[in-house]
A and B are shown apart, each in its own frame.
Chain A
Amino acid sequence: MRSFTYQRAHSPEEAAAAVERVQGAKFIAGGTNLLDLMKLQIETPAHLVDVNDLGLDKIEPTPEGGLRIGALVRNTDLAADARVRRDYGVLTRALVAGASPQLRNQATTAGNLLQRTRCPYFYDTNMPCNKRRPGSGCSAQGGFTRHHAIVGTSEACIATHPSDMAVAMRVLDAKVETLRSSGARRTIPIADFHRLPGNTPHVENALESGELITAVTLPVPPGGRHFYRKVRDRASYAFALVSVAAIVQPDGSGHVALGGVAHRPWRMEAAESEMRQGAKSVAAVLLAEARTTQHNAFKVPLVERTLASVFAEAKG
């Protein structure tokens, strides 16, 4: 690990200003992804600002009838919250499908959104990677790509976003609240938060330097039946090959988003108007632009079948 200096911040304003002031500074919360990457020298922050004492660890009702989830609410606590279990079941289901219990006890809501890809070529510092070293090339293309993206990819990058929670946040139309080092606050719809790789796969989200996530808000409970179906190589503690987050209303309408197939949670509102036509129609819209490799072409039928399984359960 490269050396760094460390400070514990006591207010969001202090934290945002500290990261903006020191070049190469980063926030640290749960640390489960950042420290792993620091050990491999993929992340080499010169200064760490510990945000665990900012008091952003509460889940509160919003005036509109939704929930405001503090950035530091641990994944376990978010999954276990009675209001989340009752009204936003897709979120609890997605959270408990991710990582291990120990990691969920450490990992935070904001940190989960900011996870970096698990592409093995991103992790292997001996290999070119446009995300790790912009302009160096993409080793995944032409490599082993079973876990890689099939939609929204670019010549520069075919990595996936690893989060389960983010897929549920996307289907729930969550919003990300932030504080900039200037003191200005803004709200970013989750649809605009994660970026597609394009020519700049190292730029993964809409945050600016020193911008701190303070909360994630959920709108009024959407009703309907909630599903998070994750297909992976073992029964537990593995990243998704494909996942489906779905909210299905009694009349068969609803919302769906996919995980494991793109650089961000994959949702297309146009696909949702096909929900009453069935999984084949929905998958056809979601994956119309799919570009697969010989290793990950299986994800196309797997998406359709996983959607079919969820829709069948929703009817039953």
Chain B
Amino acid sequence: MTEFDPARRRLLKAGAAAGAVVATSALAEAKAPAGGDTAAQAQHAAPPSVDVLLQVNGSEHRILVDPRITLLDALRERLRLTGPKKGCDQGQCGACTVIVDGRRILSCLTLAVMQEGRRITTIEGLGTPASLHPMQSAFIRYDGFQCGFCTPGQICSAVAMLEEVKAGIPSHVTADLTVGPKPTDVELRERMSGNICRCGAYSNIQEAIAEAAGVRQ
């Protein structure tokens, strides 16, 4: 091959300019077969971008996005909010947990275009280095991490989790469904089971959350 494949060139340019998200779609384009059915080819072409207004940490951001972009990728790659982490990107690890309209969700399993008009809070919106959220202080005090990769997701999850307990939402370990749950150790553990820590810092995470919940001094 004497001529540099233009799709490949686009890939390199995109990768250098804008990071992994754009590179992924360019890669899909580069892999598209030369022949084949037109419907499949049409699906490889870049779709029209969609204008979306995201409300994140109290600020509004109007961005043009490919409809395929997940909320996680929009936060990280477009708004440069790199607190939410891409761990598994398939809803199994909890590292991408953010709070939307008061509820913790996985930002890797929702599209940015689906979140227009909703209030999104990431770890960056919970506290600042100068003014930490009480849950952040508790994680530091109890050393609730080792490598720190899962920590933003753990903290967002824990903050919203305590609101779920207050709202009376039952869990798998709630013995009596007719009375409100209490933030006991067994409840906190079950309710944090969607956040995986590969370092295994669970015991300290548990202590930090228990203190923030007011069940430990």
CB pair B44 A35 closer than 8 Å: no
**CB of B1 within 8 Å of the partner chain:** no
CB pair B194 A36 closer than 8 Å: no
Taking CB atoms, residues of chain A closer than 8 Å to B45 are 3
Considering residues A32, A35, A48, A106, which has the most beta carbons from chain B within 10 angstroms of its beta carbon? Answer: A35
**CB of B114 within 8 Å of the partner chain:** yes
**CB of A11 within 8 Å of the partner chain:** no
CB pair A102 B66 closer than 8 Å: no
- Known contacts: A1-B68, A6-B113, A76-B169. The answer to whether A236 contacts B193 by CB under 8 A is yes
Taking CB atoms, residues of chain B closer than 8 Å to A52 are 114
Considering residues B28, B70, B89, B111, which has the most beta carbons from chain A within 10 angstroms of its beta carbon? Answer: B111
- Known contacts: A76-B103, A85-B178. The answer to whether A31 contacts B68 by CB under 8 A is no
Taking CB atoms, residues of chain A closer than 8 Å to B161 are 101
Alpha-carbon distance between A101 and B48 when the two chains are bound, in angstroms: 34
Alpha-carbon distance between A101 and B167 when the two chains are bound, in angstroms: 14
Q: Which of A4, A30, A92, A100 contacts B94 (CB 8 A)?
A: A100
CB pair B167 A80 closer than 8 Å: yes
Q: Which of B39, B44, B97, B174 contacts A96 (CB 8 A)?
A: B174
Taking CB atoms, residues of chain A closer than 8 Å to B114 are 28, 31, 50, 52
CB pair A4 B47 closer than 8 Å: yes
CB pair A2 B103 closer than 8 Å: no
Alpha-carbon distance between A117 and B68 when the two chains are bound, in angstroms: 23
* Residues 101 to 130 of chain B near chain A (Cβ within 8 Å): 103-106, 109-111, 113-114
Q: Which residue of B lies closest to A32 (CB)?
A: B109
Considering residues A39, A50, A86, which has the most beta carbons from chain B within 10 angstroms of its beta carbon? Answer: A39
Alpha-carbon distance between A6 and B91 when the two chains are bound, in angstroms: 22
CB pair B68 A4 closer than 8 Å: yes
* Residues 1 to 21 of chain A near chain B (Cβ within 8 Å): 1-6
Q: Which of A36, A44, A89 contacts B43 (CB 8 A)?
A: A44
Alpha-carbon distance between A30 and B71 when the two chains are bound, in angstroms: 13
Alpha-carbon distance between A35 and B73 when the two chains are bound, in angstroms: 14
User: Which secondary structure dominates where chain A touches chain B?
Assistant: mixed
Alpha-carbon distance between A50 and B105 when the two chains are bound, in angstroms: 17
**CB of A298 within 8 Å of the partner chain:** no
| Distance in Å: Cβ of A244 to nearest Cβ of chain B | 15
**CB of B50 within 8 Å of the partner chain:** yes
Per-residue CB contact flags for chain B residues 64-85 toward chain A (1 = under 8 Å, else 0) read 0011101000000000000000
Q: Which of A24, A35, A46, A92 contacts B170 (CB 8 A)?
A: A92
CB pair A102 B104 closer than 8 Å: yes
* Residues 170 to 209 of chain B near chain A (Cβ within 8 Å): 170-172, 174, 177-178, 190-191, 193-194
**CB of B168 within 8 Å of the partner chain:** yes
CB pair B111 A6 closer than 8 Å: yes
Alpha-carbon distance between A232 and B126 when the two chains are bound, in angstroms: 35
CB pair B106 A32 closer than 8 Å: yes
**CB of B157 within 8 Å of the partner chain:** yes
CB pair A80 B169 closer than 8 Å: yes
Per-residue CB contact flags for chain A residues 229-243 toward chain B (1 = under 8 Å, else 0) read 000000111000000
- Known contacts: A85-B170, A102-B106. The answer to whether A5 contacts B91 by CB under 8 A is no
CB pair B109 A79 closer than 8 Å: no
| Distance in Å: Cβ of A117 to nearest Cβ of chain B | 15
- Known contacts: A101-B164, A102-B97. The answer to whether A35 contacts B50 by CB under 8 A is no
| Distance in Å: Cβ of B165 to nearest Cβ of chain A | 11
- Known contacts: A80-B169, A102-B105, A237-B193. The answer to whether A31 contacts B111 by CB under 8 A is yes
Interface residues of A (CB under 8 A from B): 1-6, 23-24, 28, 30-32, 35-36, 39, 44, 46, 48, 50, 52, 76, 79-80, 85-86, 89, 92-93, 96-97, 99-103, 105-106, 235-237
Q: List 24 A-B contacts (CB under 8 A).
A: A1-B68, A3-B45, A3-B67, A6-B50, A30-B109, A31-B110, A35-B70, A39-B90, A46-B39, A46-B42, A50-B113, A80-B169, A80-B170, A85-B170, A86-B177, A92-B170, A93-B177, A96-B171, A101-B161, A101-B193, A101-B194, A102-B105, A106-B110, A236-B190
Besides the contacts A3-B47, A6-B50, A101-B171, what 4 more A-B pairs have beta carbons closer than 8 Å?
A6-B111, A85-B170, A100-B193, A102-B194
Interface residues of B (CB under 8 A from A): 25, 28, 39, 42-48, 50, 66-68, 70, 89-91, 94, 97, 103-106, 109-111, 113-114, 157, 161, 164, 167-172, 174, 177-178, 190-191, 193-194
Closest 6 A/B residue pairs (Cβ): A100-B194, A236-B193, A6-B67, A3-B47, A85-B177, A2-B43
